[in-house]
Chains A and B, each alone.
Chain A
Amino acid sequence: MSGGALGTLWRSRGGRCGLVLLALLALAAALVTLMPASDAGGAQWAGASLEHWFGTNRLGQDILARALEGMATAFRVGGLVTLGAVALGAALGALGGWRPHSLPDEVLQWVMGVLDSIPVYLFAAALAFALGGGEAAIIAAMVLSFWTSTARLVRAEVARLRGRDFVLSARAIGLPAPLILGRHLLPNTAHILLVQATLTFVAAIKTEVILSFLGIGAVHGVSWGLMLAESTQDVLAGHFGNFLAASGMLFLLLLGLNLVADALQDAFDLREASR
């Protein structure tokens, strides 16, 4: 399936651009994680030069090095949130779709309705209260807010597929429900999960930036949100390095993800038209 998905992506121009862009950015993030660049030691507010591509910040740190560290943070937080939200959404959505309108399904619908009614920033704030801030709180808040959209789609797809012959046959020969769900139904939702993963990644990165900027919960290391928070003071004094580096990389990463999501949706003919 994943080989097929990559092939599908590669066939469209947008998907190809997105994949190459993401691969380059991931490589940069991996390199900066494996061998952290020294970001200290320069003069305050140094201009752009070959040594400091985006200049240095208030503390004389190299802005490019910090922006790359921010990329590693974005990949880490976005990856964890995506993994958690899509896995949770797939599992619970499949359970709900297996027996639509049964008691477990009604409870699931209620829980999803409740979580969808709490804006993610407020939820993150409440969880930060309960868990005492930190990266775990905002990751948990995003997972708990974002899994519902995957769950709704998987639930609908599983409910649609459960009347098909291959499922009825599997039930007729007495396969247990978990096996049918895991081996026969969930693999048939892989295209939905793939698209949801890219969309969740986008949402997680955007939300992380805003939460870090607002100071709700904190991530480990440097974050683009923190750099942008610094830059709001900088730009009024005419220093644009922080802003350009953080917002430029943020844009490239989101663009790569959106191009991939777009190509996938086109290939699988998934568009949220009449929902």
Chain B
Amino acid sequence: MSLPRYLLQRLFHGALLLLGVTLLSFTLMVQFGPDTAFELAGKNTTEAQLEELRRSLGHDRPFLERYARWLGELARGDLGASDSNGEPVDRLIGRALPVTLALVLPGFLLGNVLGLLLGMLAAWYRQGAWDRLVLGGSVAGLSLSFLVVIIALQVLLCTPYGLDLFPTRGWRVDGIGSYLLYVTVPTLALVIVTLGYNTRFYRAVMVEELARDPVRTARAFGASGREVMFTHVLRNGAVPVLTRLLYSIPLVLVSGSLLLETYFGIPGVGKVAFDAITSGDQPVLLAVVTLTAVMFVAVQLLTDAACRLADPRYGAP
């Protein structure tokens, strides 16, 4: 398939995906959701005033018309304004996104690098003592709940019952020192909870690649362990590794940050989403869901491009 045609097809699929996500979330939240006009109106409103408000908000229009109008605003880049304080949603998210990135990036990178190294170690000594140790540790890691890890780390590192080294919650960052102070505990939690999954995945990739003929030949010709691992195995395993790395970005940014930021009171995207959930702030929630889906589409395209660059065999029949 020619490249332009291929790209066109990818874009078409991306557009269909966005249509599905927005239709589903709009249906659930707006069509079947609570009547926001009732809450906006405040107390002591007559039925006539409520009707008037609904008309001015456009809530009396048929569902498809409301959806189409919202979609039109979305296409022009207008995400609407928060129901709770009237702030434009794009400003709200624009302020929160850098915080979330700063919060989850170290843990994301560290979790993957450590997982890769441990996976390599286990695969190299497959069936040996190192392998069993790493696999056993990862089963224990898989059995830890994110919430439990967070609470345990908070007790051990942030309270007088433990080492009491870091602040228990919050995000008052104004330099590298305070950044390290606030980011360490969430980073540790993220690394601990993702390490089990990452290690097992990287080990599986490495075991598969190590069994291939070219690798066996290289080892037979006396290539060193480092040479085999980093030039032959890692390069040939680039496609699954890149795919996993890129596909986990939206999940870490939204799902990962939701619990971390809610628990530690950090004003990022996850906290914005959580506050919108508890207060029933439809425009904000719709925007978060839509932007997550946009991110998924972008990640798909990016993964494709990255895999093509990393591995010439990719996409070939």
- Identify the A interface with B (CB < 8 A): 14, 110-111, 113-114, 116-122, 125-127, 129-131, 202, 206, 209-210, 213-216, 225, 228, 231-232, 235-236, 238, 240, 243, 247, 250-251, 254-255, 257-259, 262, 271-275
Asked if A251 and B24 make an inter-chain contact with CB atoms under 8 angstroms apart, the answer reads no
Across the interface, B168 reaches (CB within 8 A) one of A127, A236, A257, A271, namely A236
Given contacts A254-B142, A254-B143, contact A228 B33 (CB under 8 A): no
Nearest A residue to B24, CB-CB: A114
Query: Contacts A127-B28, A273-B240 known; A122 to B254 CB distance under 8 Å?
Result: yes
A52 to chain B, nearest CB (A): 21
CA distance A3 to B273 in the complex (A): 46
Pair A129/B33 contact, Cβ less than 8 Å = yes
Q: Does B21 contact A (CB under 8 A)?
A: yes
Task: Please encode chain B, from 259 to 290, with 1 for each CB lying within 8 Å of some chain A CB and 0 for all others.
Answer: 10011000000000110011010000100110
Return chain A residues, CB-CB under 8 Å to B142: 202, 254, 258
Complex: how many Å from CA A231 to CA B24?
A: 36
A244 to B: closest C-beta gap in Å: 10
Partner of B146 from the list A206, A238, A271 (CB cut-off 8 Å) is A206
Contact between chains at B148 and A274 (CB < 8 Å): no
Inter-chain contact total with CB atoms closer than 8 Å: 143
| B204 A271 Cβ-Cβ under 8 A | yes
Q: Does B214 contact A (CB under 8 A)?
A: no
Number of residues from B at the complex interface, CB < 8 A: 59
Q: Does residue B82 face the partner (Cβ distance < 8 Å to A)? A: no
Cα(A231)–Cα(B150), bound, Å: 12
Q: How far is the CA of A202 from the CA of B143 in the complex (A)?
A: 8
Point out the residue from B13, B28, B146 that lies within 8 Å of A210, measured CB to CB.
Answer: B146
The CA of A113 and the CA of B208, in the complex, are separated in Å by 27
With a cutoff of 8 Å between Cβ atoms, the chain B residues found around residue A259 in the complex are 139
- Assess the A258–B143 pair: CB atoms within 8 A: yes
Chain B residues in 8 Å Cβ range of A240: 155
**A202 cross-chain contacts in B, Cβ below 8 A:** 142-143
Residues of A contacting B201 with CB < 8 Å? 272
Residue ID in chain A nearest B193 by CB atoms = A206
> When the two chains form the complex, which single residue of B32, B135, B154, B250 contacts A130, counting CB atoms closer than 8 Å?
B32
User: Is B255 a contact of A130 with CB atoms below 8 Å?
Assistant: no
Which residues of B in the span 101-125 have a Cβ within 8 Å of any Cβ on A?
none
Q: Which residue of B lies closest to A18 (CB)?
A: B139
Q: Are A275's CB and B296's CB within 8 A?
A: no
Asked if residues A274 and B255 are in contact (CB atoms below 8 Å), the reply is: no
Assess whether B151 is in contact with A122, with CB atoms less than 8 Å apart: no
Q: How far is the CB of B306 from chain A (nearest CB, A)?
A: 16
How far is B169's CA from A236's CA once the two chains are assembled, in angstroms? 12
Given A118-B289, A122-B288, A243-B152, 8 other A-B residues pairs in contact with their CB atoms under 8 A: A117-B296, A118-B292, A119-B255, A120-B255, A216-B277, A232-B151, A247-B148, A251-B143
A118 and B259 contacting across the interface, CB-CB below 8 Å: no
Give complex CA distance A118, B289 in Å. 7
CA distance A119 to B250 in the complex (A): 9
Contacts of B33 in A (CB 8 A): 126, 129-130
Question: Do residues A210 and B147 form an inter-chain contact, with CB atoms below 8 A?
Answer: yes
A-B CB contact pairs (8 Å), 26 listed: A113-B20, A114-B21, A118-B21, A119-B255, A119-B292, A122-B277, A122-B288, A127-B28, A129-B34, A129-B280, A130-B29, A214-B259, A228-B151, A232-B151, A235-B151, A235-B154, A243-B151, A247-B151, A255-B140, A258-B143, A262-B139, A272-B201, A273-B204, A274-B205, A275-B240, A275-B243
A130-B28 contact given A117-B296, A273-B205, CB 8 Å threshold:
yes
CB of A122 within 8 A of CB of B289, answer yes
Residue B49 interfacial (CB < 8 Å):
no
B25 at the interface (CB under 8 A from A): yes
